[in-house]
Structures are given as C-alpha cells and as structure tokens.
Amino acid sequence: MIKISPSVLSGDFANLERDIQTIAQSGADYVHVDVMDGVFVPNITIGIPVVGALSRVSPLPLDVHLMIQAPLRYVEAFCQAGANVLTVHVEADTAENTRKALMRIRQLGAIPGLSLKPATPVRDILPFLDLCGLVLVMAVEPGFGGQKFLGEVMPKLAEIAAILRRHNPQCLLEVDGGVNLDTFQTCLDNGATVLVAGSAFFQSADRGAFVRTLRGGAATGLPRRT
C-alpha cells in the first residue's frame, strides 16, 4: 500500500500548524520533516523544539529526516520530541555509530530509517538493513527543496527493493526529491512504497487529488496519531 509523506520544508514556516492540518486533510499518511544542520548539507532548517511543537499539533505521524552530521548525538532527543519515523544518513557517521543510532531509535519506539545520497552505492547500506524499518533513497542532492528529479537513481531504487523483498520485506522504501505528477510512477515502478513530495504538494490546486493520484486511489490503513 503506497503511503504519501508531504514535506513541510516547502510549506509556510509562519503557518506550519495550518500546513500540517492541510496535509492531514489531504488524506496523506505522514508529515515529512527535513532537519538540516548546515554541516552535513549546506542549509539549516529546523531542530528539536520545532519537531516537538509539530508533534503536539499533528494528527499524522512525523516522518523526520535527519540530514545532520553524527546523528547518534541527537536521535534520543528527536524521538522524545515526537518523531514516529526517524531517518539518519549512512554517510553521516561511522558504521559503528550508524548501527548504534538505528538500534537506539528502535529501542525508543520509533521506526528506524536509513538514507543514502544519489551517489552512494547500495553496498554501503547493506550491513544495516536488518535494523531498518525504512530505507530512504534520495532522488536529489540533499539540502534544498524544489530540485529536479534525478532519474538515474531509479536502478539503485530497484536494486534496494529487490534486496528488501528477500531479506526485510516489512521495510518501507521511500523516495525523496523531485517527486511530482511526472515522476511518481517511475518511483512506484521501481519499488517505492512511500513518496515524499514537497513543492509539488503545496503548489497543487487540489492537494487531496494530488495525494490520491500518487497513491493510485488505494486507501491507507496507517493509524492516525492519538
């Protein structure tokens, strides 16, 4: 069942509560929250207090994507702030610390996610797939919204999908970056089960129709937050 995770990075930061309600009303499944530190990526967005505030007003689970250096330092704080899915980057720390981060996220009750940049080979994430509840494939260079979709990552997506079907079939496979009405189908065709959309969602005249199109009309069984 395809799940949709609109990103508030493309929303109005002066009206995030309003935008989160818009995401919920559209029929989406998650609220995607991009956290950037200005070190791992050349941009700074939001941090732990804002995630906590979003958690208090969101009727949907928070899908928090940490684009930060050495994320092990902060996974506990983000889980306590209300992240339901917490994704770290394989490039952001040592293998030992990446494993520790994923294990700690699961211990804290959130879904542990692992992301890789467009140029990162699939082999770099293989040692960690047993710990993952989600794998996030970037279809743009992380750091800024509104970028052009990189179709050349689709073979990588398909390869990961095949590996997960064999070894971790319950793991979600997410695509983030440039997902819109022109690109979503190739993501689904190559095995994606979660689609992140930012600019395309917020620029849509009918956001509910946009979500239904990306999902293909299927109903979601994801429970709402309580």
Residue 7 per-residue DSSP state:
B
pLDDT at residue 144 in the model? 75
103-117, 161-175, 180-194, 209-223: least confident range: 209-223
Catalytic (active site) residue 12:
no
Is the predicted pLDDT of residue 3 greater than 60, yes or no?
A: yes
Sequence-ordered strand ranges (E) for 53-189 = 62-67, 85-89, 111-116, 134-138, 172-176
**Up-side HSE of residue 35: CA atoms within 13 Å toward CB?**
26
Residue 226 per-residue DSSP state:
-
| 3-state SS string for 14-64 | CCHHHHHHHHHHCCCCCEEEEEEECCCCCCECCCHHHHHHHHHHCCCCEEE
- At 177 the three-state DSSP class reads coil
Contacts of 33 (CB under 8 A, 6+ apart): 7, 8, 9, 46, 51, 54, 62, 63, 64, 65, 83
Catalytic (active site) residue 124:
no
Residue with tokens 């956001």: 207
Angstrom distances, CA of residue 188 to CA of 79, 98, 164, 176, 198? 29, 28, 15, 12, 17
Active-site position among 29, 37, 63, 176: 176
Q: Which residue has better confidence, 107 or 224?
A: 107
pLDDT at residue 172 in the model? 98
Is the predicted pLDDT of residue 31 greater than 90, yes or no?
A: yes
Is the predicted pLDDT of residue 217 greater than 60, yes or no?
A: no
Q: Which residue has better confidence, 13 or 219?
A: 13
Residue with tokens 């990552």: 153
Average pLDDT over residues 196-220: 86
Q: How high does pLDDT run on average in the chain? A: 93
Active-site position among 19, 29, 34, 93: 34
2-16, 91-105, 133-147: least confident range: 133-147
Confidence of residue 216 (pLDDT cuts 50, 70, 90): confident
Average pLDDT over residues 194-220: 87
Average pLDDT over residues 71-98: 98
Residue 69 per-residue DSSP state:
S
Tokens at 42, concatenated: 């050349």
Q: Is the pTM of this model over 0.85?
A: yes
pLDDT at residue 130 in the model? 96
